[in-house]
Amino acid sequence: KDFRNNVKPNWCPGCGDFSVQAAMQRAAANVGLEPENLAVISGIGCSGRISGYINSYGFHGIHGRSLPIAQGVKMANRDLTVIASGGDGDGFAIGMGHTIHAIRRNIDITYVVMDNQIYGLTKGQTSPRSAAGFKTKSTPMGSVEQAISPMEMALTAGATFVAQSFSTDLKDLTALIEAGIKHKGFSLINVYSPCVTYNKVNTYDWFKENLTKLSDIEGYDPSNREEAMQTLMKHNGLVTGLIYQNTERQSYQELINGYAETPLSKADLNLDQQYFDKLVGEFM
Ligand code: SF4
């Protein structure tokens, strides 16, 4: 099971996204997938290129729309493991509406966000994850907006799997993606993935100084939603590990009548021209 292909990523040397790619490939192999069982759906941004760097089905979609495409793929072919992926601008700005609704829908896909707190592909503008005061070409006097907190947002939206990691923690990140794939429902994994070219504030060293591992907090219980929220607030969101998991709630697919029948991708739709014309006629 080799999820590497022969495409060489054109990310800048040192970009955090390399580790995310490696972790995704290792996780897919560790859970026993074959390349033909996996679909990686991405949005637009440096990180959005990831779907072309993994030996699996892939779809490089449009900005902020990786989740609608990923959900469509999963609904049409439930036999596929579907990973959606993109950056913080993709998922928490233009795609935020999709993110919230996919979370509350609890559809069985894994969403891996490469969070570098800046727009890298367009050469360094303030993103919804940039801190107040952050200076870029788009906010030369410093951003006057507060950064969004995706983990708190996810808990509030009713998420059943919320995790966060850092791209240098390859082992932990791989384990979290594995757990996300195995989770029956929507899993959100936010990865601090430094942009070494444009973000000179949130660097590897900055994260090493500021991140707290949940495994170092004695007695932390990821099944306790209230504790998860309090811990995020206490640490300003700068924690890594499994923040929250609810294994009780059923996924979207489990709640949909008829979903257990033949998936659309395998159904014999037996569409003849007459049927098709009638169907189209109903909408005219
Ligand atoms: Fe990575 Fe930043 Fe380079 Fe984009 S611009 S590839 S995010 S380091």
How far does residue 118's CA lie from ligand 1's centre (Å)?
9
- Return the ligand 1 atom nearest residue 199 CA: 2
Gap between the Cα atoms of 139 and 125, Å rounded: 8
How far does residue 170's CA lie from ligand 1's centre (Å)?
18
- Return the ligand 1 atom nearest residue 14 CA: 8
Which residues' Cβ are closer than 6 Å to ligand 1?
A: 11-12, 15, 17, 46, 116, 120-121, 195-198
How far does residue 81's CA lie from ligand 1's centre (Å)?
27
How far does residue 90's CA lie from ligand 1's centre (Å)?
14
Instruction: Identify the residue whose C-alpha is closest to ligand 1 atom 3.
Output: 12
How far does residue 140's CA lie from ligand 1's centre (Å)?
20
Taking alpha carbons only, the member of 163, 133, 153, 136 closest to residue 145 is: 133
How far does residue 119's CA lie from ligand 1's centre (Å)?
9
Could you tell me where the beta strands, DSSP code E, fall in 174-283? 187-192, 212-213, 239-245
How far does residue 123's CA lie from ligand 1's centre (Å)?
9
Q: 226, exposed or middle or buried, with CB in 10 Å at 0-12, 13-18, 19+? A: exposed
Query: Is residue 82 within 8 Å of residue 28, measured between CB atoms?
Result: no
**Mutation test residue for ligand 1: of 8, 10, 11, 49, the one with most atoms within 8 Å of CB:** 11
The b-or-e profile of 132-159 (16+ CB within 10 A means b, else e) is: eebebeebeeebeeebbbbbbbbbebeb
Gap between the Cα atoms of 185 and 222, Å rounded: 16
Query: Is residue 232 within 8 Å of residue 151, measured between CB atoms?
Result: yes
Instruction: Identify the residue whose C-alpha is closest to ligand 1 atom 5.
Output: 120
**What sign does the dihedral 243-249-254-256 (CA atoms) show?**
negative
For 80-125, what is each residue's pLDDT tens digit? 999 999 999 999 999 999 999 999 999 999 999 999 999 999 999 9
How far does residue 194's CA lie from ligand 1's centre (Å)?
8
Instruction: Identify the residue whose C-alpha is closest to ligand 1 atom 6.
Output: 11
Tokens 């995020």 appear where?
232
Phi, psi of 85 (to 5 degrees): -155, 155
- Tell me the helix, strand and coil percentages in the chain, rounded to 5: 40, 15, 45
How far does residue 46's CA lie from ligand 1's centre (Å)?
6
How many CB atoms lie under 10 A from the CB of residue 246?
16
Which residues are CB-contacts of 276 (< 8 A; sequence separation ≥ 6)? none
pLDDT of 260: 66
**Mutation test residue for ligand 1: of 90, 195, 199, 204, the one with most atoms within 8 Å of CB:** 195
pLDDT of 264: 74
- Return the ligand 1 atom nearest residue 10 CA: 6
Which residue positions in the chain have pLDDT lower than 70? 260-261, 269-271
Gap between the Cα atoms of 259 and 181, Å rounded: 20
Phi, psi of 272 (to 5 degrees): -100, 170
